[in-house]
């Protein structure tokens, strides 16, 4: 998608409030990597969560809390978002903005390596899982998502076009191979009905069949 397409959609459908603007500005200023979702993707997450009446959401990869705040704002008063983040510095930044957004009662940022934290959630039920962290374990994150989601729940994953590398035969590094494998599983696993939407860097969306 061209920048102008994204700008048009974001300006019309997903204008940021001052809190999200200052989050992004402080993130840039203090050296957080500029890899949060785009505003239009934030709105897409809200539309998806609202469409299934999501109450409990799991995020893998918090960074500064930008996507977490978009998502938490789409949850009901008793909603919960649990977000897993490996970097203490990112988690602290995110918690500060979650607090400023008045969302502390809904959002918990748990520090740890996702592959270590996910087993501790076994037996819990989520309405949606948003995968947006390291790429190598993505196929395993999908297995966990399908284990933790209710029927009719959503698995959503960011960066599934991986800058176009997934369809470039010359690219064969470990991350690219993992994203390809993730997409193949999403496309073919009979438990989930999926599509890859070519917005931002590619957002894969799958609904768990009932
Ligand atoms: N969802 C965020 C962006 C996440 S960027 C947003 O849109 O605002 C990816 C994040 O995943 C980074 O903060 C990185 O530190 C974290 N991460 C990377 N590997 C991880 C792992 N194995 N477990 C948990 N978090 C991880
Ligand atoms: Mg991302």
Contacts of 128 (CB under 8 A, 6+ apart): 48, 49, 52, 54, 56, 57, 58, 149, 153, 154, 155, 156
Q: Is the pLDDT of residue 104 over 70?
A: yes
Which of the two residues, 200 and 24, has the higher pLDDT score? 24
Q: Which pLDDT tens digit goes with each residue over 26-48? A: 999 999 999 999 999 999 999 99
Instruction: Give the model's pLDDT for residue 200.
Output: 86
Closest CA to 157 of 141, 168, 143: 141
Would you say the pTM of this structure is higher than 0.85?
A: yes
Q: Is the pLDDT of residue 1 over 60?
A: no
Distance 205 CA to ligand 1 centre (A): 19
Distance 176 CA to ligand 2 centre (A): 14
Distance 45 CA to ligand 2 centre (A): 12
Task: Please provide the average confidence, as pLDDT, over all residues in the chain.
Answer: 97
Mean pLDDT of all residues in 142-158: 98
Residues with CB under 6 A from ligand 1: 35-37, 61-63, 66-67, 84-87, 90, 113-114, 132-134
Distance 138 CA to ligand 1 centre (A): 12
The ligand placed nearest to the CA atom of residue 93 is: 1
Q: Is the pLDDT of residue 158 over 80?
A: yes
The strand pairing partners of 207, in sequence order, are 154, 193
CB-based burial, 112-143: b 16+ in 10 Å, e otherwise: eebbebbeebeeeebbbbbbbbbbebbbebbe
Q: Residue 207's pLDDT band (boundaries 50, 70, 90)?
A: very high
Instruction: Give the model's pLDDT for residue 3.
Output: 82
Which domains are assigned to the chain?
Answer: 3-208 (3.40.50.150)
The ligand placed nearest to the CA atom of residue 161 is: 2
Neighbours of 92 (CB within 10 A): 13
Sheet of 56-60: strands edge to edge? 107-111, 80-85, 56-60, 126-131, 149-157, 203-208, 192-197
To the nearest whole percent, how much of the chain has pLDDT over 90? 97
Instruction: Give the model's pLDDT for residue 199.
Output: 87
Mean pLDDT of all residues in 139-151: 98
Name the residue of 34, 86, 113, 175 whose CB sits within 8 Å of the most ligand 1 atoms, as the mutation to test its pocket: 86
Distance 147 CA to ligand 2 centre (A): 22
Name the residue at shortest CA distance from atom 5 of ligand 1.
63
The ligand placed nearest to the CA atom of residue 203 is: 2
- What letter does residue 164 receive in the DSSP assignment? G
């Amino acid at each position: 998608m061209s920048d102008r397409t994204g700008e048009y959609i974001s300006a019309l459908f997903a204008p940021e409030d001052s809190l999200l603007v200052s989050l992004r500005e402080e993130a840039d200023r203090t050296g957080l990597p500029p890899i949060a979702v785009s505003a239009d993707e934030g709105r897409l997450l809200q539309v998806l969560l609202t469409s299934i009446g999501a109450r409990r959401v799991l995020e893998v990869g918090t960074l500064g809390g930008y996507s977490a705040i978009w998502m938490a704002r789409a949850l009901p008063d008793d909603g919960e978002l649990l977000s897993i983040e490996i970097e203490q510095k990112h988690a602290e930044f995110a918690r500060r903005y979650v607090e400023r957004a008045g969302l502390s009662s809904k959002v918990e940022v748990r520090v740890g390596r996702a592959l270590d934290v996910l087993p501790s959630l076994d037996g819990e039920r989520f309405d949606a899982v948003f995968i947006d962290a390291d790429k190598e374990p993505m196929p395993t994150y999908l297995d966990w998502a399908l284990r933790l989601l209710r029927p009719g729940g959503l698995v959503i994953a960011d960066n599934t076009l991986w800058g176009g590398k997934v369809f470039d035969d010359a690219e064969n590094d470990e991350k690219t191979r993992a994203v390809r494998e993730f997409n193949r599983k999403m496309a073919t696993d009979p438990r989930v009905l999926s599509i890859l939407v070519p917005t931002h860097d590619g957002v894969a969306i799958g609904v768990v069949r009932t």
